[in-house]
Every structure is written in structure tokens, then in C-alpha cells.
Structure 1
Amino acid sequence: MAAAPIAPIVITDTDGTEFRLPTRRSARARRMLLRVDPARGGPELVLPDGVAPEVGADFARRHLGWLRVRLARLPQRIGFVDGAEIPILGVPHLIRHRPDQRGGAWRLVDPDGSAELHAAGQAEHLARRVTDFLKAEARRAIGPRARAHAEALDRRVGRITVRDTASRWGSCSARGDLSFSWRLVLAPESVLDYVVAHEAAHLVEMNHSPRFWRLVERLMPGYETERAWLKRHGGRLHAYG
């Protein structure tokens, strides 16, 4: 969607609380849109061409009750800091800062099943080291699955990339290149596998027709459970980091 940012709009609630709304124009928008994006961790106001910011501000004020409720439902952000707990393929890991060590980041699993993610170096580099580790883990988890699913469909995968996408968990290009959100590594392993199977099915069907979903079912029988998990809990994955 073509978009042009404009100055943020600030509206004030009856109790004096101010809401700062990042605002943009969209040439494709047919109506004003106020939404709360878990990936951005806040609201956004979208205005069609020709709609004045003042009109958008009035629209937002009329929907303040909705906005309060949606913002309250946003998952609490969890930074990549010492002592924080994050999931890796659905398994809780406690982040431990190890300034006395070298070597980036690594996982340790105790015999009792508890797991930790250790990160070396200075404190100011901790979040980046954890993020780099998770991206690398995502590549290791996604690549073999994508190639295996493609082979099962008698197709060949092009490039496989991992990014921090806000609107899509995965995508497939006409050339057969697959792209995925690295945040899938925070989800249960079966959910990650479902997204990979979903995109691999697009190598055959670049649509969401009944035939496409039959291909997904072939690759991952019972995928509806993982699909429902992602719809319900996917927003939480954007709250990490």
C-alpha cells in the first residue's frame, strides 16, 4: 500500500491522558482506519487522500473507547535483558548475561529440562547478540523444512531469507523465493513448521484456493491447530526484543 507519513496526531482523553497517533496517508484507502499494530506496539491512523488531519483527529476521538481497550490488550513487551524469559521453538529460556565469556550466544539445557540462553560481551550488546542468535536459529530451523516440503511437492526453492517482517509471517515470490519472519523461532516448533508448509504450498498454488489448502493438509495433516494458534497468539511474538 502506497503510504505517505504526516505529522502524528495527538488526542486527549477525558482524564487528561494523551494518545499520540502516528498518521499516514494511503492512496488505496477508501475510508479512515484506526488500528493497533502489535508489531509496532501502538496505534496508527490511516487517512485516505483528501482527508484533512483535523477530520482524522475527530474520527480518532470518537473511537477513544475502542482504542483504550485495544491498547490495554497489547501484550507486555519483554526486552532481551538479563533475567528475561523467552521461548525458543516454544521452550522457555532464561536469558543470562555472561560478560566474563566470549563467543556470542549459546543455549544450555539442564538435565531437569530447564533451559537458558547465555550471551557474552558488554551489556549494551546483549539485545543484539540475543537477536542475532535467534535469527540464526530461525534460519537453521526453517531452511531444511522448506526444502523438504518443496521436495515433497516436486518443487525447488529459490532463496530462503529471514527478516523481521511486521505484516506477514512468510511469503513466496513468483520465482520461488521464500521469506520468513525470524520471530517464528519464538513460536512452538509445529507452528513454525505450519508456516513453512504454507509458503511451500505457494510454490504450486499462488493463491488460497481449496486446492492450496489441500496441499497444506498434505504437507502437514491437522494444520488447523497451528493456524489457530498463530491467529490467537501471533501478536505476542512481536512483543519480544
Structure 2
Amino acid sequence: MPLLPSSDPALPPVEITLRRSPRARRFSLRVSRLDGRVTLSLPPRAREADALAFARAQEGWIRRALSTVPEGQEIRFGTLVPVEGQMRVLRPGSGRILRLEGDSLLVPGDEAQLPQRLAAWLKHQARDRLAAASDLHAGRLGRPYRSLTLRDTRSRWGSCTHDGRLMYSWRLILAPPVVLDYVAAHEVAHLAEMNHSAAFWAHVARLCPAYQAPRRWLKTEGQALHAYRF
């Protein structure tokens, strides 16, 4: 991975991910708001040296963009993590299972295993909640779905294929329950309408009448759910 050297000796170099795109007609830079990854897109036949020269000329813009990327939240005991929209303090627990007590989430085992064990528990909770919500909405719609899978997607919170396969981001378990329910209603509505037409939104409104508020929440707050590093 190429490194963009700094014009200021006090600043570290920046890693650049090069991506050749058949649709690219010029060089373009993107800094991810989720993890700070810097991607430089270039046309198929462009020279790498010219692309890196372009990046060097844009160093000021790149560093300003990186300065606005939120820091990731490490998972350790004492960390606050949202579970169904409520902030919980991660604390050492006894026994073999994770459990909620008041404002605490008790996690047994060594701290080194905490991120892995917490992620596994959250995924289990997410599957239960999303399956229940999808079953409910599919029953109301009268359109069964074929399967349900979980992923850690960053570009979308859910999807529905033409053959009825539902996919959700398991990080929805971190959001308030009404947000998870809205996403389930949204994807189930695609079983009837594989588009975002007026007919589609009419189905969403019937399944989740107050969908506007959770939809706004995802647009304004959803990105923060990706800050937790499991």
C-alpha cells in the first residue's frame, strides 16, 4: 500500500489505497468517515506515479478530512456500549454467559476475549430480534421471505434480493428497538416492491406507521454504531 509522505516532519505518512475503476475518467480521493481509509480512484490506464503526485498535491485536503474522522471506540472493561439504544458499562462477570444487570453488561472471561465474546452475544441478540421483526412484518404483508443473514456491512443496514433473501447489519442491535424494527419493515416491504416507489413506501407506512423518526435517526446517528471495534 503506497504511503503519502508528509510535508511536515512532525506528521506521520498517510496510507493510500489505490483503486482502478473502469468508470473513472480522472483521479479522485475519498476519506472514509468510518475508519479514515484514504482511497484514490484512478482510470484503468493511468500511471500510478501520476496518481500519487495528485495525492501529494491534495495533502492539505486529505489531512483536514482525516482530522474530522471520529476516533474508534476500543472494547474493554469500563467501556460504554449501546445495547438496544441504552448505554451499558462493560464489567467483568462470573459464570459462562453474558447478562444485563441494571446499567451494566457483565461479561465473563479475560479482557483479551471481551471483544470477541461481546460481538458473538450481540450477533445472537440481533438475529433473535431481526428474525422476530421480519416474521411479524412478513406475516402482515403476506409475503414470506426465504432466508435471513447477518453481516457487518457499512454501506447499508439491510437488503432484500429478488428471491426473498434478507440481509441485515448485526449492529442494528446497538440502535433503539424502533430503528431495528423500521429496517426490518423496510426490507420486508421489498418482498412486495423491489424499488422505492410510492407503493413501496405505502407498504412501509402500513408495517411501521411512524417510520420517519427511526429513518432520520439512522441518517444522523447511525454512523456512530460503526465506531465500536470488535
Q: After TM superposition, is the score higher than 0.5? A: yes
Report the equivalent of 1:44: 39
Which deviates more, 30-39 or 141-150? Answer: 30-39
Q: Does residue 1:172 correspond to 2:160, yes or no?
A: yes
Report the equivalent of 1:161: 149
Q: Does residue 1:119 correspond to 2:119, yes or no?
A: no
In 2, distance between residues paired with 1:154 and 1:122?
47
Which deviates more, 31-40 or 81-90? Answer: 31-40
The TM-score, its normalising length taken from structure 1, stands at: 0.86
2:100 to 107, 114, 118: 107
Which deviates more, 11-20 or 128-137? Answer: 11-20
The count of aligned residue pairs is: 228
1:8 to 2, 6, 20: 2
**Matching of residues 142-153 of structure 1 within 5 Å:** 142-153=130-141
Q: Does residue 1:230 correspond to 2:218, yes or no?
A: yes
**Matching of residues 59-74 of structure 1 within 5 Å:** 59-74=54-69
Report the equivalent of 1:4: none
**Matching of residues 188-227 of structure 1 within 5 Å:** 188-227=176-215
Per-residue deviation at 1:206? 1.1
CA RMSD in angstroms, aligned pairs only: 1.9
User: Does the residue aligned with 2:149 lie in a helix, a strand or coil?
Assistant: strand
* Closer, same or farther: CA 149–33 of 1 in aligned 2, 3 Å: farther
Report the equivalent of 2:175: 187
* Closer, same or farther: CA 57–198 of 1 in aligned 2, 3 Å: same
1:35 to 30, 44, 60: 30
In 2, distance between residues paired with 1:31 and 1:155?
45
- Which amino acid in the other structure matches residue 183 of structure 1? R
- Which amino acid in the other structure matches residue 128 of structure 2? R
1:129-167 Cα shifts (integer Å, max 9, x gaps): 011111111111111101111111110011111111122
- Which amino acid in the other structure matches residue 82 of structure 1? F
User: Does the residue aligned with 1:238 lie in a helix, a strand or coil?
Assistant: helix
Which deviates more, 20-29 or 155-164? Answer: 20-29
* Closer, same or farther: CA 59–208 of 1 in aligned 2, 3 Å: farther
* Closer, same or farther: CA 222–60 of 1 in aligned 2, 3 Å: farther
- Which amino acid in the other structure matches residue 6 of structure 2? T
Q: Does residue 1:81 correspond to 2:76, yes or no?
A: yes
Per-residue deviation at 1:96? 0.8
Identity of aligned residues (%): 39
Contact 2:35 2:69 in 1 (8 A): no
- Which amino acid in the other structure matches residue 103 of structure 1? R
- Which amino acid in the other structure matches residue 51 of structure 1? A
Report the equivalent of 2:53: 58
Contact 1:41 1:239 in 2 (8 A): no
Per-residue deviation at 1:51? 1.9
